[in-house]
């Protein structure tokens, strides 16, 4: 009992000291409204990463490989993808059509470069679910490889983590490789998409 009282007394003293220190700290100077508006305008302007995304606009054919289990051959499918910049060059929107597990499959993705956070952010919705999948990450120094990470809950209560490696090989070729792990399992390659630009 005595030990408990001593512990509680010490905890109260620490909390009181923390509160006193917090009161002594002066609030940081707030940015005036004009400066804040100028900053927002600057952050809203598309930059070099957005030019990179814009270079991918157009129509593509796709070759997809999917691995359902380690050590087993992948299933393969062909498809198409149409990409365009939206909202005055700020976001890359993709509409993807193919098959998955023998069924027609459509997906819509939006990729952004967030000037404030200095990160790429990608969202994905498709015809095989009702959720929105979000990934984020950064590019290598030459900006030609973007690595994204995300996770989503599984029906059995587990959590699957994902890692995607998106490579812009050249003006007419890009690849998207997806890796995943169930719970605490080992990461495995789940999907590989090769995009080839349609020639007019």
Concatenated DSSP letters of 45-107? S--HHHHHHHTT-EEEEEEEEE-SSTTSPPEEEEEEEEEEEETTTTEEEEEEEEEETTEEEEE
CA–CA separation, 76 vs 101, rounded Å?
9
Average pLDDT of 172-189?
A: 88
Determine the pLDDT at residue 185: 75
Burial classification of residue 175, based on how many CB atoms lie within 10 Å of its CB (0-12 exposed, 13-18 middle, 19 or more buried): middle
Would 137 be classed as within a structural domain? yes
Determine the pLDDT at residue 18: 41
Determine the pLDDT at residue 174: 98
Contact assessment for residue 103 and residue 69, using Cβ atoms and an 8 Å cutoff: no
Report the domain count for the chain.
Answer: 1
Among candidate residues 124, 24, 119, 44, the one with its CA nearest the CA of residue 88: 44
Q: How confident is the model at residue 26 (pLDDT cuts 50, 70, 90)?
A: low
Rounded to 10 degrees, what is the CA torsion of 58, 80, 65, 151? 70
- pLDDT tens-digit readout, 59-116: 999 999 999 887 889 999 999 999 999 999 999 999 999 998 889 999 999 999 999 9
Would 163 be classed as within a structural domain? yes
CA–CA separation, 177 vs 155, rounded Å?
24
- What proportion of the chain, given as a percentage, has pLDDT over 90? 66
Would 33 be classed as within a structural domain? no
pTM (2 decimals)?
A: 0.81
Would 16 be classed as within a structural domain? no
Would 181 be classed as within a structural domain? yes
- Residue 89's domain comprises 48-197
Would 29 be classed as within a structural domain? no
Among candidate residues 94, 92, 98, the one with its CA nearest the CA of residue 79: 98
Residue with tokens 């157009």: 58
Would 101 be classed as within a structural domain? yes
Determine the pLDDT at residue 152: 84
Instruction: Please say if the pLDDT value at position 180 is more than 60.
Output: yes
- pLDDT tens-digit readout, 83-99: 999 999 999 999 999 99
CA–CA separation, 194 vs 87, rounded Å?
27
Would 123 be classed as within a structural domain? yes
Instruction: Please say if the pLDDT value at position 4 is more than 50.
Output: no
| CATH at 69 | 2.40.128.20
């Amino acid at each position: 009992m005595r030990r408990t009282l001593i512990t509680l007394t010490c905890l109260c003293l620490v909390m009181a000291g923390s509160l006193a220190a917090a009161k002594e700290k002066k609030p940081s100077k707030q940015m005036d409204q004009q400066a804040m508006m100028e900053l927002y305008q600057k952050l809203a302007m598309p930059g070099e990463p957005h030019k990179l995304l814009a270079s991918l606009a157009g129509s593509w054919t796709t070759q997809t490989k999917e691995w359902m289990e380690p050590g087993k051959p992948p299933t393969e499918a062909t498809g198409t993808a149409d990409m365009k910049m939206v909202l005055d060059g700020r976001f890359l929107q993709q509409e993807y059509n193919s098959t998955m597990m023998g069924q027609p499959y459509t997906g819509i993705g939006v990729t952004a470069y967030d000037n404030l956070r200095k990160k790429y952010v990608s969202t994905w919705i498709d015809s095989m679910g009702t959720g929105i999948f979000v990934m984020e990450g950064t590019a290598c120094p030459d900006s030609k490889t973007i690595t994204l990470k995300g996770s989503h809950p599984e029906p059995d209560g587990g959590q699957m983590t994902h890692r995607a490696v998106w490579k812009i090989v050249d003006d007419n070729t890009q690849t998207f490789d997806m890796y995943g792990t169930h719970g605490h399992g080992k990461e495995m390659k789940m999907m590989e998409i090769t995009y080839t630009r349609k020639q007019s």
